[in-house]
Structure 1
Protein backbone atom coordinates (compact mmCIF):
# COMPACT_ATOMS: atom_id res chain seq x y z
CA UNK A 1 0.00 0.00 0.00
CA UNK A 2 1.21 3.50 -0.84
CA UNK A 3 0.55 4.83 2.67
CA UNK A 4 3.40 2.65 3.97
CA UNK A 5 5.78 4.84 1.98
CA UNK A 6 4.46 8.16 3.29
CA UNK A 7 7.69 9.23 5.02
CA UNK A 8 9.81 8.31 2.00
CA UNK A 9 7.50 10.18 -0.37
CA UNK A 10 7.33 13.20 1.92
CA UNK A 11 11.14 13.24 2.21
CA UNK A 12 11.46 13.00 -1.56
CA UNK A 13 8.95 15.85 -1.94
CA UNK A 14 10.86 18.10 0.47
CA UNK A 15 14.20 17.24 -1.15
CA UNK A 16 12.84 17.91 -4.63
CA UNK A 17 11.43 21.26 -3.44
CA UNK A 18 14.90 22.26 -2.32
CA UNK A 19 16.51 21.02 -5.55
CA UNK A 20 13.93 22.77 -7.71
CA UNK A 21 14.17 26.05 -5.81
CA UNK A 22 17.98 25.98 -5.73
CA UNK A 23 18.25 25.27 -9.44
CA UNK A 24 15.76 28.04 -10.23
CA UNK A 25 17.70 30.46 -8.03
CA UNK A 26 21.01 29.58 -9.74
CA UNK A 27 19.49 29.79 -13.20
CA UNK A 28 17.84 33.14 -12.41
CA UNK A 29 21.12 34.64 -11.19
CA UNK A 30 22.90 33.25 -14.24
CA UNK A 31 20.30 34.73 -16.61
CA UNK A 32 20.60 38.12 -14.91
CA UNK A 33 24.39 37.89 -15.33
CA UNK A 34 24.02 36.99 -19.01
CA UNK A 35 25.42 33.47 -18.66
CA UNK A 36 24.25 31.13 -21.42
CA UNK A 37 24.47 27.86 -19.46
CA UNK A 38 21.27 28.75 -17.59
CA UNK A 39 19.17 28.10 -20.70
CA UNK A 40 21.15 25.15 -22.06
CA UNK A 41 18.93 22.20 -22.97
CA UNK A 42 20.52 19.86 -20.40
CA UNK A 43 19.86 22.34 -17.59
CA UNK A 44 16.29 22.93 -18.73
CA UNK A 45 15.58 19.20 -18.99
CA UNK A 46 17.10 18.61 -15.56
CA UNK A 47 14.72 21.24 -14.20
CA UNK A 48 11.77 19.56 -15.94
CA UNK A 49 12.78 16.17 -14.50
CA UNK A 50 13.05 17.55 -10.96
CA UNK A 51 9.72 19.37 -11.24
CA UNK A 52 7.99 16.27 -12.63
CA UNK A 53 9.26 14.26 -9.66
CA UNK A 54 8.12 17.02 -7.33
CA UNK A 55 4.62 17.08 -8.82
CA UNK A 56 4.42 13.29 -8.72
CA UNK A 57 5.39 13.21 -5.04
CA UNK A 58 2.87 15.97 -4.26
CA UNK A 59 0.06 14.08 -5.98
CA UNK A 60 1.02 10.89 -4.16
CA UNK A 61 0.89 12.74 -0.84
CA UNK A 62 -2.52 14.14 -1.70
CA UNK A 63 -3.71 10.64 -2.44
CA UNK A 64 -2.25 9.11 0.71
CA UNK A 65 -3.67 11.85 2.92
CA UNK A 66 -6.94 12.03 0.96
CA UNK A 67 -6.68 15.79 0.67
CA UNK A 68 -8.60 17.86 -1.85
CA UNK A 69 -6.79 21.11 -2.63
CA UNK A 70 -10.11 22.79 -3.38
CA UNK A 71 -11.46 22.12 0.11
CA UNK A 72 -8.25 22.81 2.05
CA UNK A 73 -7.53 26.57 2.14
CA UNK A 74 -3.78 26.18 2.68
CA UNK A 75 -3.50 23.83 -0.32
CA UNK A 76 -5.55 26.16 -2.49
CA UNK A 77 -3.21 29.02 -1.54
CA UNK A 78 -0.19 26.86 -2.40
CA UNK A 79 -1.73 25.91 -5.73
CA UNK A 80 -2.43 29.54 -6.65
CA UNK A 81 1.07 30.56 -5.62
CA UNK A 82 2.52 27.69 -7.63
CA UNK A 83 0.82 29.00 -10.77
CA UNK A 84 2.14 32.51 -10.04
CA UNK A 85 5.63 31.05 -9.40
CA UNK A 86 5.60 29.26 -12.75
CA UNK A 87 4.43 32.34 -14.66
CA UNK A 88 6.91 34.67 -12.92
CA UNK A 89 9.69 32.12 -13.34
CA UNK A 90 8.99 31.86 -17.05
CA UNK A 91 9.29 35.64 -17.40
CA UNK A 92 12.40 35.71 -15.23
CA UNK A 93 14.24 33.11 -17.28
CA UNK A 94 13.00 33.74 -20.79
CA UNK A 95 9.95 35.84 -21.58
CA UNK A 96 10.63 39.27 -20.05
CA UNK A 97 12.05 41.48 -22.80
CA UNK A 98 14.38 43.55 -20.60
CA UNK A 99 16.90 42.80 -17.84
CA UNK A 100 14.84 44.91 -15.42
CA UNK A 101 11.72 42.91 -16.30
CA UNK A 102 13.64 39.67 -15.73
CA UNK A 103 14.87 40.94 -12.35
CA UNK A 104 11.36 41.97 -11.25
CA UNK A 105 9.90 38.63 -12.37
CA UNK A 106 12.76 36.75 -10.65
CA UNK A 107 12.10 38.60 -7.39
CA UNK A 108 8.37 37.90 -7.65
CA UNK A 109 9.00 34.21 -8.35
CA UNK A 110 11.31 33.94 -5.33
CA UNK A 111 8.67 35.66 -3.18
CA UNK A 112 6.11 33.08 -4.36
CA UNK A 113 8.51 30.23 -3.60
CA UNK A 114 9.20 31.48 -0.07
CA UNK A 115 5.49 32.06 0.57
CA UNK A 116 4.65 28.53 -0.61
CA UNK A 117 7.26 27.21 1.82
CA UNK A 118 5.88 29.31 4.68
CA UNK A 119 2.32 28.18 4.01
CA UNK A 120 3.47 24.55 3.95
CA UNK A 121 5.24 25.04 7.27
CA UNK A 122 2.15 26.64 8.78
CA UNK A 123 3.68 30.09 9.29
CA UNK A 124 0.27 31.75 9.20
CA UNK A 125 -1.46 29.46 11.64
CA UNK A 126 -2.50 27.02 8.94
CA UNK A 127 -1.10 23.57 9.62
CA UNK A 128 0.17 21.56 6.72
CA UNK A 129 0.89 17.91 7.07
Structure 2
Protein backbone atom coordinates (compact mmCIF):
# COMPACT_ATOMS: atom_id res chain seq x y z
CA UNK A 1 0.00 0.00 0.00
CA UNK A 2 1.31 3.43 -0.93
CA UNK A 3 0.46 6.69 0.80
CA UNK A 4 -1.72 7.79 -2.14
CA UNK A 5 -4.04 4.85 -1.40
CA UNK A 6 -4.83 6.52 1.92
CA UNK A 7 -5.84 9.81 0.28
CA UNK A 8 -9.62 9.42 0.92
CA UNK A 9 -9.02 8.59 4.59
CA UNK A 10 -6.52 11.44 5.05
CA UNK A 11 -8.82 13.93 3.35
CA UNK A 12 -11.81 12.84 5.47
CA UNK A 13 -9.62 13.08 8.57
CA UNK A 14 -8.49 16.57 7.56
CA UNK A 15 -12.07 17.75 7.00
CA UNK A 16 -13.26 16.19 10.26
CA UNK A 17 -10.41 17.71 12.24
CA UNK A 18 -11.04 21.13 10.65
CA UNK A 19 -14.68 20.98 11.72
CA UNK A 20 -13.70 19.78 15.19
CA UNK A 21 -11.08 22.51 15.53
CA UNK A 22 -13.48 25.23 14.38
CA UNK A 23 -16.25 23.94 16.63
CA UNK A 24 -13.96 23.81 19.64
CA UNK A 25 -12.74 27.34 18.92
CA UNK A 26 -16.33 28.59 18.59
CA UNK A 27 -17.26 26.98 21.90
CA UNK A 28 -14.18 28.30 23.66
CA UNK A 29 -14.74 31.78 22.25
CA UNK A 30 -18.34 31.87 23.42
CA UNK A 31 -17.25 30.61 26.81
CA UNK A 32 -14.62 33.32 27.13
CA UNK A 33 -17.16 35.98 26.17
CA UNK A 34 -19.49 34.61 28.86
CA UNK A 35 -16.62 34.78 31.41
CA UNK A 36 -16.46 31.02 31.89
CA UNK A 37 -13.19 29.52 33.11
CA UNK A 38 -13.50 26.09 31.46
CA UNK A 39 -12.56 27.27 27.92
CA UNK A 40 -9.09 28.20 29.14
CA UNK A 41 -8.56 25.13 31.33
CA UNK A 42 -5.26 23.40 30.61
CA UNK A 43 -6.87 20.19 29.35
CA UNK A 44 -9.09 22.13 26.89
CA UNK A 45 -6.12 24.09 25.61
CA UNK A 46 -4.10 20.87 25.19
CA UNK A 47 -7.01 19.21 23.36
CA UNK A 48 -7.13 22.16 20.98
CA UNK A 49 -3.36 21.90 20.39
CA UNK A 50 -3.58 18.16 19.70
CA UNK A 51 -6.43 18.62 17.24
CA UNK A 52 -4.68 21.48 15.46
CA UNK A 53 -1.41 19.55 15.25
CA UNK A 54 -3.18 16.53 13.76
CA UNK A 55 -4.99 18.88 11.35
CA UNK A 56 -1.67 20.34 10.21
CA UNK A 57 -0.22 16.84 9.82
CA UNK A 58 -3.14 15.75 7.65
CA UNK A 59 -2.81 18.91 5.55
CA UNK A 60 0.89 18.30 4.98
CA UNK A 61 0.22 14.69 4.00
CA UNK A 62 -2.38 15.85 1.47
CA UNK A 63 0.09 18.34 -0.01
CA UNK A 64 2.70 15.58 -0.22
CA UNK A 65 0.36 13.07 -1.86
CA UNK A 66 -0.97 15.59 -4.39
CA UNK A 67 2.47 17.17 -4.93
CA UNK A 68 1.06 20.65 -4.50
CA UNK A 69 3.12 23.72 -3.71
CA UNK A 70 0.74 25.85 -1.61
CA UNK A 71 2.65 29.02 -2.47
CA UNK A 72 2.16 28.41 -6.21
CA UNK A 73 -1.52 27.46 -5.93
CA UNK A 74 -3.67 30.62 -5.61
CA UNK A 75 -6.53 29.12 -3.60
CA UNK A 76 -4.14 27.51 -1.11
CA UNK A 77 -2.11 30.68 -0.76
CA UNK A 78 -5.26 32.65 0.08
CA UNK A 79 -6.33 29.92 2.51
CA UNK A 80 -2.93 29.98 4.25
CA UNK A 81 -3.05 33.77 4.50
CA UNK A 82 -6.50 33.53 6.08
CA UNK A 83 -5.18 30.83 8.42
CA UNK A 84 -2.60 33.28 9.75
CA UNK A 85 -5.33 35.90 10.24
CA UNK A 86 -7.54 33.26 11.94
CA UNK A 87 -4.74 32.42 14.38
CA UNK A 88 -4.08 36.09 15.17
CA UNK A 89 -7.78 36.89 15.67
CA UNK A 90 -8.22 33.66 17.64
CA UNK A 91 -5.47 34.50 20.11
CA UNK A 92 -6.93 37.99 20.50
CA UNK A 93 -10.39 36.53 21.09
CA UNK A 94 -9.30 33.94 23.63
CA UNK A 95 -6.72 35.82 25.65
CA UNK A 96 -4.83 38.76 24.21
CA UNK A 97 -7.52 41.41 23.69
CA UNK A 98 -7.83 43.50 26.84
CA UNK A 99 -11.53 44.33 26.61
CA UNK A 100 -14.64 42.24 26.15
CA UNK A 101 -15.52 44.27 23.04
CA UNK A 102 -12.08 43.58 21.61
CA UNK A 103 -12.46 39.88 22.32
CA UNK A 104 -15.92 39.84 20.71
CA UNK A 105 -14.72 41.64 17.58
CA UNK A 106 -11.70 39.35 17.25
CA UNK A 107 -13.97 36.31 17.77
CA UNK A 108 -16.31 37.39 14.95
CA UNK A 109 -13.37 38.12 12.64
CA UNK A 110 -11.81 34.72 13.41
CA UNK A 111 -15.10 32.96 12.65
CA UNK A 112 -15.35 34.90 9.37
CA UNK A 113 -11.84 33.78 8.44
CA UNK A 114 -12.80 30.19 9.23
CA UNK A 115 -15.94 30.39 7.09
CA UNK A 116 -14.07 31.86 4.12
CA UNK A 117 -11.33 29.21 4.47
CA UNK A 118 -13.99 26.50 4.41
CA UNK A 119 -15.58 27.97 1.28
CA UNK A 120 -12.19 28.22 -0.43
CA UNK A 121 -11.38 24.63 0.50
CA UNK A 122 -14.73 23.50 -0.88
CA UNK A 123 -14.43 25.39 -4.18
CA UNK A 124 -10.65 25.31 -4.68
CA UNK A 125 -11.07 28.91 -5.76
CA UNK A 126 -9.64 31.99 -4.02
CA UNK A 127 -13.03 33.67 -4.43
CA UNK A 128 -14.60 30.97 -2.22
CA UNK A 129 -18.09 32.05 -1.18
CA UNK A 130 -18.53 34.31 -4.18
CA UNK A 131 -18.05 31.31 -6.49
CA UNK A 132 -20.45 29.27 -4.33
CA UNK A 133 -23.08 31.97 -4.96
CA UNK A 134 -22.38 31.90 -8.69
CA UNK A 135 -20.76 35.34 -8.84
Name the structure 2 match of 1:22. Answer: 23
Give the whole-Å Cα distance in 2 for the aligned partners of 1:35 and 1:56: 31
Q: How does 1:42-121 map to 2 (within 5 A)?
A: 42-121=43-122
Name the structure 2 match of 1:3. Answer: 4
Deviations 1:6-29 (A, max 9, x none): 000000000000100000000000
Give the whole-Å Cα distance in 1 for the aligned partners of 2:69 and 2:85: 20
Over aligned residue pairs, what C-alpha RMSD do you find? Answer: 1.1
Runs of 4+ in 1 over 2 A off after TM superposition: 123-126
How many residues align? The count is 126
Give the whole-Å Cα distance in 1 for the aligned partners of 2:89 and 2:12: 27
Unaligned runs of 5+ in 2: none
Alpha-carbon offset, residue 125 of structure 1? 4.4
